[in-house]
Structure formats: C-alpha cells, structure tokens
Structure 1
Amino acid sequence: MLKRTVNKLEPPQILILVFAVAILLGSFLLVLPIASNEAISYMDALFTATSAMTVTGLVVVDAGTAFTLFGQIVIIALIQLGGLGIMTFAVLIYMALGKKIGIRQRILMKQALNQSAIGGVVALAKKLLFFSLSVEIVAIIFLSIRWVPELGWSDGLYTSVFHAVSAFNNAGFSIWSDSLSGYVFDPVINILITLLFIIGGIGFTVVFDLWSKKEFKHLSLHTKVMLFGTLLINLFSMLIIFVLEYNNPDTLGVMSSSQKLAAAYFQAVTPRTAGFNTIDIASMEESSLFYIITLMFIGGGSASTAGGIKLTTALAILLSTMAVFKSKENIVLFQRNLRPYTIMRALALTVGSMAVVILTIFILNLTEDASFLTIMFESVSAFGTVGLSMGLTGELTTVGKVVLVLTMLVGKLGPLTFAFAFTSHTPDLIKYPKEDVMTG
C-alpha cells in the first residue's frame, strides 16, 4: 500500500518526502542519550538535523560540545546526504543491487540534481559521487598535514574529516563554537576551506564541463557565466568588506594590511552559503551585514551544494532589467540569447524566494526579541542555507525554531519545488487574444 501511495506522488512531492523522512530519522538519532553530552530537547535535535540535512549550519546548541562523537557522525552523515543529494545515493545503491533505473527514477534524479533533461542523469550521479569523495579525501589529507601536528593523530584526523565534509558541502558546521576564528591568519586553513566551498558551490555541471572541454569557447553558456560571475562577485565582495571593515576595531581594525585582506577575502566568499567565519559576524558594521545579506540571498551555483536563488538566476534578472532600460528585446550573454522561459523561471524563483524570506521575517518579528537587522540576517541565512549568525539562532523561541526549520527546508529544495509539488500542472489548451496592461 505504501508503494502504491508513493507511486502516485509527483517527483517534487517524493523529493520533499524523502528529505522530511531523513530529517526525522536524523532527529531521532540525535535525541538519543548516546548522541549528546547534555540533555537535548527534541526541538533542538530536529533543528540540528534540519540544519545538517539542508547543509545550512545554523545551530541552537554547540555541535562541538553538546554532541558526542556518535552525534557528530550523525550530523556529518546528514550533511553528506543533503549536500550530494539523497537521491544520488539512493539511485547508486539501487544500481549496486542490480536493479534497473526506470524513467521515474531518472525524473527524480533530474529534479534532485536540478537538471533540464533526464538524459545522462545516472552517469552524472556516478561522476558526482566519485568527484565529491575524491575532493573530500584530498582535502582531508592536506588538512591533516596542518591539524595532526597541532591536535594529535586522532583529533587532528577527525577534525580534518569533519571540516572537509562540512566545507565541501557548504554546510558551515564546525566543532568549534567560534567556527574558524582561531585560524583567521592561517593561510593553509583559509585557502583549503575556501577552495572546498567554492568548488562545492560553483556547481557540479560546471566542474564536469571544465573537465571535459579543452577550450573556453566550447564551454556551455552556464559554465562561462558561473566562472566570470563567481570571479567578479568574489573580488568585488572582498573589496567591499575590506573597505567597510577597515577601521572597525572589533573586526579588521586591529589587523595588519595583509591580515585584513585575508580576513576580508574569507568573509567575502563565505556568505555564498558556506557559513564559516573567521571574524565575529555580530561585530561587523551594519553596512557590511546588509551587503552580506544580499550575498546570502544570491547564493552559489545551480546543481551545487550551495543555496540561495543562485548566481545565474540573479544575473538573468539583472540583465533582463538592463535590457528593459535599454529598450532591447533580446538578452545576450557570450553571443547567446537567453530563452524567455529562462527569464520567467528566474523571475518566479526570485519572487517566490522573496515571499518566503518576507514571511519568515514577519513571523520572527512577532515572536523574537531582536533588532530588525538581526532578524533579517538570520532569516536570509536560513533560506540561503548559509549558516552565518548574529547570535539570534541560539536564543530562538520554539515558534522561531519551527519557522527556521521550514525556511531551511524550502531554501534547500527551492520554492519552485514546493510550488510544483502542491499545484496542478495543466497545459494551456485554450489560446486567448493578447493585450497589454500599463506598467510602471
């Protein structure tokens, strides 16, 4: 009977159901006495499981002290499942058992990996798993070289595994309460951790496209846009943070020029849903915090471990706006016209995302005792599955925790997934005459 019920569900509904079941299972494991060093309420366990599964990194209890080794392993497992996609693991296990991957499973994979067609999704899942595990293993080796001499073999290796998985999947979980603030001037940690979440957040289709194509001109339009967009936004953001925080005594003000650049670089790239921090977020200037909110809302790349509306979505909206300002009908990128449906989808995703964030902010303003900027920061961080916090998350009311749990889930799967799951899909069988309305 259960199988018949599942078969009646649409792919977006199944995807939501699978994530919900994984989160519930994780929460039950985290609430067990073996998982924690202190009494953990089920609400806190559910929040932590959701934050891990959606690779967000917001915490209501300190992951490094509140949870035992077992509990931390559960968190890492949820991060890996959520980051690479639980459907990826499910399909590969299905294949390992000798089962044939049918059209329904391929459609689910297409939905989970945010692909436009079902062709090649199984091959993509194989490459995705191999590539991800390879990158994480290499990262663990290099991080161990740094941390084993400092922490010893067991602690150093475990710390390397935890942070490599967390960073590559853009989760932002750390076993230290101050995240990576203790390594703000450490070039090895800064470079390795940022490389991990940039690679994980740029999108797997971009990585595979770069791997298979030998010349820039043969790259897909999506890859070209992501490469240039990521480079420009990271450099611009580093400059903005550097300038705004230059004289702030609580952040960059007490550092040397080279240290300021290093700290500004890390804090400029981490809001693209990575969630780690090397300076105190709550001590940053309000102008910096507002800029970070914008970065968190934009997020990383499609088909990646990152959240947000995605960089290509933001660029599509920006370019379409500029096209209207210039009275142009076509939106051109690298000598290619964007399809009208791409713009419509980008607009729908952006408006849907704004609606979710606005609703979250509205409810938290009613339930939480905090400033508007703090509530906005926490809300966008949850939706963008970033994990940066100004300190509000640990003090949330029960209602506030429930709201952010739902916000993180919607942010991870995307507003369009929920829209497709709960709305009917009927083709336009009747065509009507066209007429305009006045706008502006």
Structure 2
Amino acid sequence: MRKKFYLDPPKILVLGFGTIILIGALLLTMPISTVDGKGLSILNALFTSTSATCVTGLVVVDTGTAFTLFGQLVILSLIQVGGLGFMTFGTLFAFLIGKKISLKGRILLQESLNNLSMEGIVRLAKRILIFTALIELLGAVLLATRFSFDMPLNKAIYYGIFHSISNFNNAGFDLMGEFHSLTGYVDDPTVTLTVCILITLGGIGFIVMNELFEFRKVKRLSLHTKIVLITSAILVATGTILIFLLEFSNEKTLKPLSFTGKILASLFQSVTPRTAGSNTLNIPDLTQTSLLLIIFLMFVGASPGSTGGGIKTTTFTTLLGAVWSQIRGKEDATFYRKRVVYETIYKALTVSVIGLFLVLIITMLLTITEPGKDFLMILFEATSAFGTVGLSMGLTPELSPIGRVLIIFTMFAGRVGPLTIAFAITIRRNPDAFRYPKGKIMIG
C-alpha cells in the first residue's frame, strides 16, 4: 500500500513562503513593473521578491527609481504578506467570507505565529490584523505629515504609507532614491522616533503586543514577554550608548551633527539592526568597531512571533542564562523565579549553532564568488541577510549571479527559520523508542 504524502506545518510554511516569492518574482519580471518597461531579469526579480517577502530590504536595484507604481505596490504587498505571514492573511480571507477556521488551520496559525499554545489562536490572529492596521495607519499619518513639508501632499501620503508598512514589518525598503534610505532625515526627531517606534513594535512580536494590551485586565505578564521586553531594552540602550561613543568624533557620521542629532542617529542605528534595514547614517562610513557591534545586533535580531529575523532575543537570553547557571554551579537556568526546561535550552542552542554555521558558510562561499571584496563587508552582508535586516555596506548591487543566489537562500532561511527548514526537509520526526546508556565527554 502506497504511503500517503504528509505535509506537516513546517513543510507547509516553507512551501507557502516559496510560492509567494515565486508569484512576486513573476510579477516583477513584467514590463509594467519597471520604469524602463523591460521588467527585471529572472534572477533580480527572484532576489527582490525574496527580500520583500522575507522582509529583509537588501536590494540589487533602487526601489524608488527602478520601479513603477505597480512594481512598488507589488513589493509593498509582498512585505505586508511576508511580515504578517501568509497564514494570518489566510485567516483574514476566511473571516471575510465567513468560513470557520479548521483544526489544521489553527495548528498552522500556531506554528506560523510561534505561539506556545493553540488556545485563543484565532482571536490572536484577529488582534494581529487590528494592531497592524492601527499602528501602520498612525505611522503613515505621522510620516506623511512630515514628508508633506518636502514634497507634494499626494506624494507625501504615498511615501508615508509605504515607509510605515515597510518599517513596521521590519523590511527596510524605501523610496528615497539612489540607495539613500533615510539619511536625509538623520537629525529629524519626527521621522527618527516614528520609524524607531514602528520597528520596535514590529520586532517585539504580536504575542508580546497582545499581552501588553491585556495587561490592564490580567495585571500580569508571562515570562516570555518579560524576557523580550527586558532584552530588547538592554540591547537598544547598550547599542545607542556604544554607537554614540564610537562614532562621536567620526567626521563622516556623528561629528557634524548637533548633540540632539547625535543621540537620534545613535538611537536609530541601534534600533534598525533589530532586522529593520533602514538607516540614517551611511553604513560604510561607520568605524569597524561599530560595524562589528551592528553585526552582533543583526545576528540576535528581533523576537519570536514578530516580523523580524535573527536567532531572536529569547534565544540569546536563554543561552546567557544557561551559561550563567553553569558558571555559578547551578543545575537550572532561572528567570524571575521560573526554571527554563532543558528542551528550551537545547532548542536555543540548536537555533544559534545552525544560524552561526549558516552565516559562516555563506560568508566563506561569498569570499570565493566575490573575490577582492573586503571580508568585513562580506560578513556584514551575510549576517544582514540571515537576520533579514537589509542593512548593507554596498555589496548587494555588485554581487555576482552565484552570490545573489547565496543571499536569496540566506534571506529565506533567516525568515522562515533554520530550524523550520531543517524540520521541513526531514522525514517525520518520531520520538526515540529507547535511550542509550550515558557516556562521558570531557568539556573545557
């Protein structure tokens, strides 16, 4: 008897994202998508579609000047679907046509949102859609109001909507032209703070956002939410202070700015590696120490169930907790008087090791495919792709065809999750029927 082919949630998520990317790529190859009327080449269209769907922001052609309104709207749609997840949009369509969400659909929603429980998952999906609409609308109004001083009102409104959606979904695509991103607003408090808030809200995760919304009723936060908020705050504050100190006397970055401008630029450049990709400072002009700091922030990335990538804040903190417990001679890693189970620590270690190996392998391959390029530039690009950040030192537009394929794979793996891909390509995972006797290995 022939075995029935089984599609578990990881396989469906990988195939779903892959399908959306292919549809987006086909649309971007159409003549109507580009200003020159020729459409993008297949490889460039696939790269751009992957970058948009995986909310990365790395680009091989300038979004503001190369694409028509149709092409830009295709990219914006891919960003929105990719940021929220295709299962969330599937739920929206089910709501609109009055269809009930099946058990399989609820399981897929749980997997795509990285939620610990299936309880209330449909209600969470509804709130995600409401939160997203309200936050993006408010961000669009604030940005459009500011942009209206620099451009016609209709253009300002469109730019406000585009940049609000792009930054809330941590994508980093912009329409400013010539790969300038938001450098023209480096010391502008309205643009800087609005975009920082959009990036932060998109990066903390919808589960955390929902718990904060319900806090007024339940008066408590889960361990997950506490770790996300504390870790995110520490990373942003530490990054801001270090970039301020490292770039304070740099003639090409902070030195020409006022004191307030220096703080705003430092804050923005600390927030944006949380997988957003917009920048107000020219990345290649930063000191090498600042670039290494940004590489670290990009690798850690955002939080689970968010629009961002990276190994995630909770993974990083869990590993730190396990290391600290070993140093203190404790058996358990604890946070807020709660013990972290070994399964969670193993998963955090697995995600981190796979992510680290992926970045290192892609970096090694890029040193072969892109001869003569600076090593730090290559490492920066590979980490940015894995963390679905989109910050670039200028290497992406100059990548060879093989180099572009490598970055496409890295962006996809970073967005879907290396562990999800590993689960998707393996045969059904069955628990061990027995356990081997213990063996001893010398460590350290």
Per the TM superposition, whether the score is higher than 0.5 is yes
CA distance in 2, matches of 1:431, 1:411: 33
User: Of residues 19, 22, 25 in structure 2, which corresponds to 1:21?
Assistant: 19
Name the residue aligned to 1:380: 383
Moved more, 93-102 or 112-121: 93-102
Identity of aligned residues (%): 44
What amino acid is aligned across from residue 113 of structure 2 in structure 1?
Answer: L
CA distance in 1, matches of 2:364, 2:120: 42
CA distance in 2, matches of 1:271, 1:282: 15
CA distance in 1, matches of 2:409, 2:235: 29
Residue 150 of structure 1 deviates from its aligned partner by 2.5
Residue 391 of structure 1 deviates from its aligned partner by 0.2
* TM-score, reference length from structure 1: 0.96
CA distance in 1, matches of 2:413, 2:160: 30
What amino acid is aligned across from residue 381 of structure 1 in structure 2?
Answer: S
User: Of residues 264, 271, 274 in structure 1, which corresponds to 2:273?
Assistant: 271
Name the residue aligned to 2:302: 300
User: Of residues 396, 399, 411 in structure 2, which corresponds to 1:396?
Assistant: 399
Where structure 2 has 5 or more consecutive residues not aligned to the other structure, the ranges are none
Residue 216 of structure 1 deviates from its aligned partner by 9.4
CA distance in 2, matches of 1:401, 1:211: 41
Is 1:416 the counterpart of 2:414? The answer is: no
What amino acid is aligned across from residue 438 of structure 2 in structure 1?
Answer: K
SS in 2 for 1:432: coil
**Preserved contact between residue 187 and residue 257 of structure 2 (Cα < 8 Å):** no
CA distance in 1, matches of 2:333, 2:35: 56
Name the residue aligned to 1:226: 228
**Preserved contact between residue 25 and residue 46 of structure 2 (Cα < 8 Å):** yes
Is 1:331 the counterpart of 2:333? The answer is: yes
Aligned residues, how many?
436
Name the residue aligned to 1:49: 49
CA distance in 1, matches of 2:100, 2:44: 40
Name the residue aligned to 1:357: 359
**Preserved contact between residue 58 and residue 396 of structure 2 (Cα < 8 Å):** yes
Is 1:260 the counterpart of 2:262? The answer is: yes
CA distance in 2, matches of 1:314, 1:258: 31
What amino acid is aligned across from residue 319 of structure 1 in structure 2?
Answer: G
Residue 134 of structure 1 deviates from its aligned partner by 1.0
SS in 1 for 2:250: coil
Is 1:432 the counterpart of 2:436? The answer is: yes
SS in 2 for 1:390: coil
Moved more, 141-150 or 47-56: 141-150
CA distance in 2, matches of 1:264, 1:348: 32
Deviations 1:379-415 (CA, angstroms, capped at 9, x unpaired): 0000000000000001000000001001000000101
Is 1:172 the counterpart of 2:172? The answer is: yes
What amino acid is aligned across from residue 12 of structure 1 in structure 2?
Answer: P
Q: Which runs of 4+ in 1 moved over 4 A?
A: none
Residue 438 of structure 1 deviates from its aligned partner by 1.5
What amino acid is aligned across from residue 69 of structure 1 in structure 2?
Answer: L
What amino acid is aligned across from residue 427 of structure 1 in structure 2?
Answer: P
Say what the alpha-carbon RMSD is for the aligned residues: 1.5
SS in 1 for 2:390: coil
**Preserved contact between residue 367 and residue 375 of structure 2 (Cα < 8 Å):** yes
CA distance in 2, matches of 1:348, 1:217: 34
**Preserved contact between residue 300 and residue 313 of structure 2 (Cα < 8 Å):** yes
Map 1:233-248 onto structure 2 (within 5 A).
233-248=235-250
What amino acid is aligned across from residue 16 of structure 2 in structure 1?
Answer: V
**Preserved contact between residue 298 and residue 383 of structure 2 (Cα < 8 Å):** yes
Is 1:114 the counterpart of 2:117? The answer is: no
